């Protein structure tokens, strides 16, 4: 039976960054993946903003969807960047999204993330972990037969504690696909995030090799870090191949949803 994965990020591109390499492999293996952005992306630029930027960023998510082959890339267009709150209205939206998609696994940010929208998204998803199984709450949307497993995507923050890599998925053979997903988000990687790094780029004048190198130099290095910091686990999971894996995405099991063993969680996350 195909497994179903729901990645709920704060912004249009968060799912691509944190889960893209694994998502592509899951889709190729016949599993079903959905991305959700809780915010519309309306503040993620140095010159554009509002409805114009939100519509542009929505179009970028749909281009990424076409590249990756995921089932859906949903953007909650009514939620502006930098204004997301873990209130009852948004909690109900998240619960309905989870119930309607009926995933095996739900992924999101950790609660200790640097960005207010990331933290609010994490709070909303973790608040939903038990409430998805309360039939009298949001009774218009039936509860799924089985509560999903909940998990968090990797981050590098160490306060209050470092990320715990419970499952690791290498994507050395899928770097190109992940970069092509990034490449769809032109307003982010080549404009806003490049501007933050005090770089000026014109992607129309760059070859694919130049763009791929830029993307991996600036966002691929974090997944080299994941692999290097978890080398012993990679070797335990993948044998001799684990010694040479260069890029890996990592996932931390949350006890708030369906209870599974570490071995079961790792098996769930495997493409």
Instruction: Determine phi and psi for 16, rounding to 5 degrees.
Output: -60, -45
Predicted local distance difference test score (pLDDT) of residue 113: 95
Predicted local distance difference test score (pLDDT) of residue 65: 98
Predicted local distance difference test score (pLDDT) of residue 46: 94
Rounded CA separation 216/195 (Å): 17
Low-confidence ranges of the chain (pLDDT < 50): none
Looking from the CA of 221 toward its CB, the CA atoms found within 13 Å total: 4
Predicted local distance difference test score (pLDDT) of residue 270: 95
Predicted local distance difference test score (pLDDT) of residue 188: 96
Per residue in 197-235, pLDDT (tens digit) is 999 999 999 999 999 999 999 999 999 999 999 999 999
How far the first Cα of the chain sits from its last, in Å, is: 13
Predicted local distance difference test score (pLDDT) of residue 111: 97
Predicted local distance difference test score (pLDDT) of residue 49: 92
Predicted local distance difference test score (pLDDT) of residue 195: 95
């Amino acid at each position: 039976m195909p497994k179903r994965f729901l990645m709920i990020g704060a912004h249009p591109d968060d799912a691509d960054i944190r889960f893209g390499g694994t998502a592509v492999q899951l889709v190729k293996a016949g599993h079903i993946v959905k991305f959700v952005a809780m915010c519309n992306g309306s503040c993620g630029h140095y010159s554009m903003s509002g409805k114009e930027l939100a519509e542009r960023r929505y179009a970028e998510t749909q281009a990424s969807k076409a590249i990756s082959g995921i089932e859906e890339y949903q953007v909650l267009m009514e939620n502006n960047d930098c204004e997301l709150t873990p209130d009852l209205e948004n909690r109900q939206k998240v619960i309905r999204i989870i119930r309607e998609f009926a995933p095996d696994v739900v992924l999101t940010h950790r609660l200790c993330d640097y960005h207010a929208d990331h933290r609010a998204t994490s709070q909303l998803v973790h608040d939903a972990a038990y409430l998805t199984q309360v039939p009298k709450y949001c009774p218009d949307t039936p509860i799924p037969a089985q509560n999903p497993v909940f998990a968090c995507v990797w981050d590098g923050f160490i306060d209050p504690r470092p990320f715990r890599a419970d499952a690791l998925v290498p994507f050395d053979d899928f770097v190109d696909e992940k970069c092509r997903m990034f490449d769809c988000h032109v307003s982010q990687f080549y404009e806003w995030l490049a501007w933050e790094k005090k770089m000026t780029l014109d992607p129309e004048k760059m070859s694919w090799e130049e763009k791929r190198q830029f993307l991996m130099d600036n966002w691929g290095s974090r997944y080299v870090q994941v692999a290097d910091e978890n080398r012993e686990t990679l070797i335990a999971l993948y044998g001799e191949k684990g010694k040479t894996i260069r890029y890996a995405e990592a996932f931390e099991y949350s006890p708030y949803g369906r209870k599974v063993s570490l071995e079961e969680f790792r098996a769930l996350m495997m493409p």
